[in-house]
Amino acid sequence: MRLSLIHRVPIRWVILGATLAALGCSLLAWSLGAYWLGQNFMWYSQEYRMLAQVRMVWTGEEPDGQGNRRGLPISLSLQEEARGRVQALSTPATAARIFDLSGRLLAESSGPQVVDPASPDRIQAVASVSEQVRNRHLAYAVDGEKQEWMVVLIPIRQNHQDVGVLQFTSMRRQPREVTVKMLSYIGTAGGLATMVSILGALWVANWLAKPMERLRQATLRLQHGDLKARTGLAAVESQNEVYQVSAAFDQMADFVEQSLETQRRFVADASHELKTPLTAIGGMADMLKLGQDAEKQRKAIDIISRETDRMSRLVADLLTLSKAGQKPAEQTLEHLCLSVILRETVELLAATHPHRVIEVEAEENLFMLGNRDEVGRLIRNLLDNAVQHTPASASVRASCRLAPQGIVLEVADKGPGIEATDLPHLFERFYRPDSSRARKTGGSGLGLAIVKSIAARHGGQVSVTSEIGKGTCFCVVFSGVK
């Protein structure tokens, strides 16, 4: 797949480029906005000053905020006042003309007239504006040979009627020059801002790129088999997503290392457990080949049969553990009464251990959703474990009850108890506090691991408490009560 340019560039340069692009767009928007605002400000400010100048000279009064709604008043006829009015408004930088409503020029100032007289259309446009409009005037610009001029047309009124129009012309200040100067200031400030932004963007880019580079290197090391590869950022408390991803990677690497170590130990332990019966079977098979007497052959066959059964049980246990972490298939789920399954399992165990005392305390109608065979296997493993590791004179107690957290299943014995150092490891595969005793009773060290696996598959949790000389109690809590 062909990569785009952004995929071929290191992230620090992508961040820098994105920052500069955003800054460039911002400066362009600010420059255009400043130019537009400067032009409008210069236009309206000069327009206002020209209107105020006309009002002051014409009436001798300050503008009253009503704009030119009432126009410019006259007391005599327009013909008689026109010449005096235009001369009063004439300065080296201004000129004035007065027209009647038909567009006929009545008077103009004596100074040089650099702007053509207003057209009749513009005169009519100003005179036709309603008196209700606040600013009854028209402003426009005219380009001269060396200078730009602003022209305003203001209506002249007498007895509440428009009788003429004043054309007042003034040299326009150079807004373009002012705007260009302002843009130069913006450019200077923008240049400084760009330099600061580049330095800031580089710092941020390096700050973000360093953990990502450490993450990349740790990933490559892990990929090549270094299970100790870490970013070293898991201990950094940060809300930054890059650091959080790095911390998540370290946690994942810890889990992978533990899983592979568990798998390695599992394979080694399984191989060790299978080696013993295979050795026995092989030895007995060699004995049979030698043609020994009938009694020795019978013993050899018994040993082969016993070790084969042991291997079958071990393989079955391994298959059960291979389902750890998976939920039971929906087609195998049914509504179970845990108290019924507990009593049935105790009856089966009592038939094989008729001299053992197993007390049962079970509340009625404790229903849950699960796989009947697996739940029965869980109870049987707990009871087998209690019976095998409890003196014949001691009793075993099995109970189930409803609690706020769910259905609670307990199997307690009055055996010798378990050392505190062994308790955290009881549910590990092939772990046996006393290996010789486990082998003597036929245990493989998988029974409690299977209990934990089945409990987890049914949304339950298993725990154990023990006291030396007083006994051990296993507790399973099924939270999915139905």
Residue 359 corresponds to which tokens in the numbers above? 């007390």
Whether 353 has a pLDDT exceeding 70, the answer reads: yes
pLDDT at 362 over 60: yes
418, pLDDT greater than 70: yes
Question: Does 394 score more than 50 pLDDT?
Answer: yes
The yes-or-no verdict on residue 4 having pLDDT over 70 is no
The gap from C-alpha 332 to its chain's centroid, in whole angstroms, comes to 38
Band of residue 165 on the pLDDT scale cut at 50, 70, 90: very high
Mean per-residue pLDDT, 320-332: 61
In DSSP notation, 427-475 reads TSTT--SSHHHHHHTT--S-HHHHHHHHHHHTTEEEEEEEETTTEEEEE
Read off the pLDDT band of 436 (50, 70, 90): very low
Q: What is the pLDDT of residues 116-134, one digit of tens each?
A: 899 999 988 888 887 777 7
Instruction: Indicate the residue among 301, 321, 341 that finishes a domain.
Output: 321
The arithmetic mean of pLDDT across residues 6-31, rounded, is: 73
CA dist 367 and 478 (Å) reads 10
CATH number of the domain that residue 288 is part of? 1.10.287.130
Of the candidates 197, 308, 276, 283, the one whose C-alpha atom is nearest the C-alpha of residue 445 is 276
Domain span including residue 415: 330-478
Specify whether 284 is located in the same domain as 390.
Answer: no
Please tell me which of 89-93, 191-195, 226-230, 310-314 the model is most confident about, judged by mean pLDDT.
89-93
Question: Across the strands, what pairs with 164?
Answer: 100, 156
**249 or 3, greater pLDDT:** 249
Domain contains 412 = yes
Q: How many CB atoms lie within 10 A of CB 80?
A: 11
Which CATH number fits the domain that encloses residue 461?
A: 3.30.565.10
pLDDT for residue 31? 75
Residues 169 and 93 in one domain: yes
Spatial neighbors of 283 by CB under 8 A, at least 6 apart, are none
Please, what is the average pLDDT of the chain?
Answer: 79
Specify whether 341 is located in the same domain as 457: yes
User: Taking phi first (over 0 means left), then psi (-120 to 50 degrees means alpha), and beta for anything else, what does residue 90 get?
Assistant: beta
- Domain boundary among the residues 275, 302, 321 is at 321
Average pLDDT over residues 171-187: 70
What kind and span of H or E run contains 93?
A: none
Q: β-pairing, 94-100 with 105-108?
A: antiparallel
230 is a domain residue: no
Does residue 316 sit in the same domain as residue 342? no
49 with 188, same domain: the answer is: yes
- Residue finishing a domain among 148, 173, 198: 173
The predicted model gives 243-247 an average pLDDT of 77
Does 37 lie in the same domain as 7? yes
**470 or 325: whose pLDDT is higher?**
470
Same domain, residue pair 438 and 376: yes
Q: Distance between CA 160 and CA 20 in Å, rounded? A: 62
Statement to judge: residues 353 and 474 lie in one domain: yes
Q: What is the pLDDT of residue 99?
A: 92
| Highest mean pLDDT (candidates 119-133, 342-356, 460-474) | 460-474
Number of compact structural domains in the chain: 4
Q: Where does residue 469 fall: left (phi above 0), alpha (psi -120 to 50 degrees), or beta otherwise? A: left
Residue 57 and residue 184 share a domain: yes
396: tokens are 């075993």
Is residue 319 within 8 Å of 450, Cβ to Cβ? no
- pLDDT above 60: residue 2: no
pLDDT in tens, 32-80: 787 787 778 888 888 888 888 888 888 877 766 565 666 788 888 888 8
Strand spans (E) along 268-366: 334-337, 358-362
| Residue keyed to tokens 């300065």 | 91
Same domain, yes or no: 356 and 367: yes
Q: 457 pLDDT exceeds 60? A: yes
266 belongs to a structural domain: yes
Q: Report if pTM > 0.85.
A: no
Give a yes or no: residue 148 inside a domain.
yes
Residue 427 has pLDDT above 60, yes or no: yes
Q: Tell me how far apart the alpha carbons of residues 478 and 464 are, in angstroms, rounded to a whole number.
A: 15
Write out the H or E segment, with its range, that includes residue 157.
Answer: strand 148-158
Query: Is residue 398 located within the same domain as residue 419?
Result: yes
Q: Is 3 helix (H, G, I), strand (E, B) or coil?
A: coil
Same domain, 341 and 458: yes
Maximum CA extent, the chain = 158
Domain assignment present for residue 392? The answer is yes
Any idea which of 122-131, 204-213, 327-336, 458-467 has the lowest mean pLDDT? Answer: 327-336
pLDDT digits (tens, 9 = 90+) for 327-339: 666 557 888 999 9
Instruction: Please indicate whether residue 260 or residue 319 has the higher confidence score (pLDDT).
Output: 260
